[in-house]
């Protein structure tokens, strides 16, 4: 059903075959994206040159510094071989030391910008390849040296070939993390340029993905909330980003992953989400989660799918905090969202526990806001599956217990139904855990169940509840002991 579009992000390095390079590129790209699940990540990307054969890819770059000086001398003289010289320069610039040598040469950047803005389309493409290699440099001084080219890179986001536009976008994205370059790009209008590019190229998947990458680099800046996000929200970018979050499998995962992370960076950097809610962000993200949850429930766990699920979960969880209760049903669609979240919980419990925890967190936020969704968990018989997760650690069991507490808090009849579905025996086990948070939460849920119905209290006693609470009185301290005493004296022994 779903596929992760192949993106040419990792260029060749000495001594590798083309297939090995492609494999390494995919592994590197996956590692970069996976790292985002637990922390924001600024990463640089290098496009693989499609027109390189194996002999070119494996050329020796150890003499890169000498090559740069020699090629620059040749480029200063006009002639039909400029294209060839520029290709040689882009390969030489893969050597970090050669990148420093290049920016130290007199008029080197002036020459490259001249070729970038010249009338020869082939030379323009090769010149932007050189800039792209420079943008990937580990040396911070190289990014600042590329500043003279930035206004032209922005201008070229409209009306050029796909490959040219991609190179410009990824070059800009690589340069963005540098604070000096970022401020210059903002002043030069990078946000409206990206908005225009995405609007004009919204059917071009490679360009859409590249725009998403570049924007995500901007949104991870330290001052994004104060300076960048207001500019983004005032543009057409949010609506276009949301339109990429489609359940259409033909669209591919790559563009959706990048755009979902952009929406995530927007939601986690601001407290007021009214603009995004008004544009249907919560409905769009939850609808795509429903589609992905359905695919996962059917056993379809394509590579890369979890990299889309993670930002979507975070978007939904964050957006819920700003959604008025009266609008929740309209913003969330139908109850299929809880089915999807439970499916994701079960599917990633062992392989991706962090993702399972994110799913439980969203389920907690939903049930805290909606009685209808609490009722759906009972009606659709999803509660027994949740109860089975209480023995799991890594924060999953505490979040599941909070979900069950939300259900119990809503209605006394819900408490009776929870007891009938086996929650009492599960609480008898969680009350014995060493985790004090789990014991405290278990006591809260038990209290709601016991006071809801005499029959539930009687059933708890039959399951050995009295001796369990008495043991809790003697083996626990402070608040937990007081709660156990209160339950015994006022609701069970009486």
C-alpha 135/C-alpha 141 separation (Å) is: 10
**CB proximity list for 104: less than 8 A, separation 6 or greater:** none
Rounded distance between C-alpha atoms, residue 470 and residue 490, angstroms: 14
Residues 6 or more apart from 153 whose CB is under 8 A from it? 128, 131, 168, 171, 172
Q: Residue 37: its pLDDT value, please?
A: 44
| 437 occurs within a structural domain | yes
Q: Where are the alpha helices (DSSP H) in 269-352?
A: 274-278, 281-297, 305-320, 328-332, 336-348
The tens digit of pLDDT for each residue in 305-345 reads 899 999 999 999 999 888 877 777 777 767 899 999 999 99
Measuring CA to CA, which residue among 19, 98, 12, 25 is closest to residue 59? 12
Query: Could you say which of 261, 285, 308 is where a domain stops?
Result: 261
Q: Helix, strand or coil for residue 223?
A: coil
- pLDDT value of position 63: 62
Q: Tens digits of per-residue pLDDT, 1-39?
A: 333 333 333 233 334 454 554 455 456 545 555 554 444
Residues, the chain, total? 494
Quick one: DSSP state of residue 246? -
Q: Which residue has the higher pLDDT, 295 or 36?
A: 295
**pLDDT > 70: what percent of the chain?**
87
Q: Provide the CB-side half-sphere exposure for 371 (13 A, CA).
A: 8
| Number of neighbours of residue 214 by Cβ within 10 angstroms | 28
What separation in angstroms does the CA of 101 have from each of 21, 108, 113? 26, 10, 17
**What is the pLDDT at residue 10?**
29
Q: How far is CA 396 from CA 309, 360, 375, in A?
A: 17, 7, 21
Give the distance, in angstroms, between the CA of residue 408 and the centroid of all CA atoms in the same chain. 32
Q: Which of 242, 261, 280 is the last residue of a domain?
A: 261
Q: For position 3, what pLDDT does the model report?
A: 33
Identify whether 181 is part of a domain: yes
Q: Assess contact for 29 and 170: CB atoms under 8 A.
A: no
Tell me the Cα Rg of the chain.
Answer: 28
User: Comparing C-alpha atoms, which of 427, 411, 346, 329 is closest to residue 378?
Assistant: 411
Q: Is residue 191 part of a domain?
A: yes
Apex CA 186: angle with CA 184 and CA 187, to 5°? 65
Residue 481 is assigned to a structural domain of this protein: yes
- How much is the pLDDT for 418? 96
215 contacts 232 by C-beta, under 8 angstroms:
yes
Would 322 be classed as within a structural domain? no
Q: Does residue 422 come out as left (phi exceeding 0), alpha (psi in the -120 to 50 range) or beta?
A: left
Question: Which ranges of 82-204 would DSSP assign to H, the alpha helix?
Answer: 82-92, 96-104, 108-116, 121-135, 140-145, 150-155, 162-175, 179-187, 190-200
Query: Is 120 within a domain?
Result: yes
Query: Does residue 48 have a pLDDT over 80?
Result: no
The pLDDT tens digits of the residues spanning 221-255 come to 888 999 999 999 999 999 999 999 987 666 678 89
Per-residue pLDDT reduced to its tens digit, 476-488 = 778 888 888 888 8
Q: How far is the C-alpha of 262 from the C-alpha of 176, rounded, in Å?
A: 15
CATH number, position 476? 1.25.10.10
114-146 tens-digit pLDDT = 999 998 999 999 999 999 999 999 999 999 999
Which tops the pLDDT comparison, 480 or 383? 383
Spatial CA neighbour of 188 closest among 176, 205, 170: 176
| Average pLDDT across the chain, whole number | 86
Compute the average pLDDT of residues 44-65.
59
* Residue 5 located in a structural domain: no
Reported as a pLDDT band with limits 50, 70 and 90, residue 380 is very high
Distance of alpha carbon 381 from alpha carbon 438, whole angstroms: 24
Q: What is the C-alpha to C-alpha distance for residues 246 and 252, in angstroms, rounded to an integer?
A: 9
**Does residue 376 fall inside a structural domain?**
no
Domain count, the chain: 2
Q: What is the DSSP string of 53-84?
A: -HHHHT---TTHHHHHHHHHHHHTS-STTHHH
Q: How far apart are CA 47 and CA 9, in angstroms?
A: 4
Question: Would you say 113 and 130 are in contact if contact means Cβ atoms under 8 Å apart?
Answer: no
Nearest to residue 132, comparing CAs of 53, 60, 47?
47
Of all residues in the chain, what percent are helix, strand and coil, respectively (each to 5)?
A: 70, 0, 30
Of 261, 281, 296, the one marking the end of a domain is 261
Cβ atoms 25, 117 nearer than 8 A = no
Domain that holds residue 127: 36-46+65-261
pLDDT of 191 higher than 80: yes
pLDDT bracket for residue 62 (50, 70, 90)? low
């Amino acid at each position: 059903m779903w596929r992760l579009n192949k993106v040419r992000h990792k260029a060749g390095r000495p001594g590798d075959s083309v297939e090995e390079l492609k494999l390494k590129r995919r592994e590197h790209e996956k590692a970069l994206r996976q790292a985002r699940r637990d922390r924001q990540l600024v990463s640089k990307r290098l496009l693989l040159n499609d027109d390189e054969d194996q002999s070119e890819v494996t050329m020796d770059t150890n003499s890169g510094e000498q090559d740069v000086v020699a090629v620059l001398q040749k480029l200063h003289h006009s002639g039909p071989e400029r294209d060839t010289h520029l290709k040689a320069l882009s390969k030489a610039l893969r050597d970090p030391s050669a990148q420093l040598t290049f920016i130290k040469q007199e008029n080197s950047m002036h020459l490259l910008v001249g070729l970038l803005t010249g009338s020869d389309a082939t030379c323009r493409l090769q010149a932007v390849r050189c800039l792209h290699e420079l943008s990937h440099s580990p040396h911070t001084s190289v990014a600042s040296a590329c500043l003279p080219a930035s206004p032209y890179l922005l201008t070229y986001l409209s009306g050029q070939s796909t490959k040219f536009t991609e190179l410009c976008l990824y070059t800009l994205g690589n340069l963005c993390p540098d604070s000096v370059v970022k401020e210059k790009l903002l002043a030069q209008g990078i946000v409206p340029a990206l908005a225009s590019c995405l609007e004009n190229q919204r059917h071009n998947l490679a360009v859409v993905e590249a725009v998403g990458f570049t924007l995500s680099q901007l949104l991870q800046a330290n001052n994004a909330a104060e300076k960048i996000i207001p500019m983004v929200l005032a543009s057409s970018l949010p609506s276009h980003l949301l339109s990429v979050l489609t359940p259409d499998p033909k669209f591919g995962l790559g563009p959706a992953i990048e755009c979902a992370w952009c929406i995530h960076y927007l939601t986690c950097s601001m407290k007021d989400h009214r603009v995004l809610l008004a544009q249907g962000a919560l409905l769009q993200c939850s609808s795509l989660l429903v589609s992905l949850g359905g695919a996962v429930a059917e056993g379809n766990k394509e590579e890369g799918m979890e990299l889309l699920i993670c930002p979507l979960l975070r978007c939904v969880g964050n957006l819920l905090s700003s959604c008025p209760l009266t609008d929740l049903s309209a913003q969330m669609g139908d109850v299929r969202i809880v089915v999807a979240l439970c499916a994701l919980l079960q599917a990633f419990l062992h392989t991706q526990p962090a993702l399972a925890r994110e799913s439980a967190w969203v389920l907690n936020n939903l049930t805290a806001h909606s009685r209808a969704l609490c009722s759906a968990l009972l009606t659709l018989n999803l509660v027994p599956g949740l109860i089975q997760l209480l023995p799991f650690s890594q924060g999953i069991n505490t979040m599941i217990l909070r979900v069950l507490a939300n259900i119990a808090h809503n209605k006394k009849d819900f408490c009776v139904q929870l007891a009938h579905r086996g929650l009492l025996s599960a609480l008898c086990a969680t009350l014995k855990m060493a985790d004090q948070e789990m014991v405290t939460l278990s006591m809260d849920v038990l209290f709601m169940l016991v006071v809801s119905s005499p029959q539930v209290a009687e059933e708890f006693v039959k399951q050995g509840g009295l001796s369990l609470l008495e043991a809790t009185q003697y083996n626990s301290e402070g608040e937990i002991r007081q709660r156990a005493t209160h339950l015994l004296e006022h609701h069970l022994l009486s």
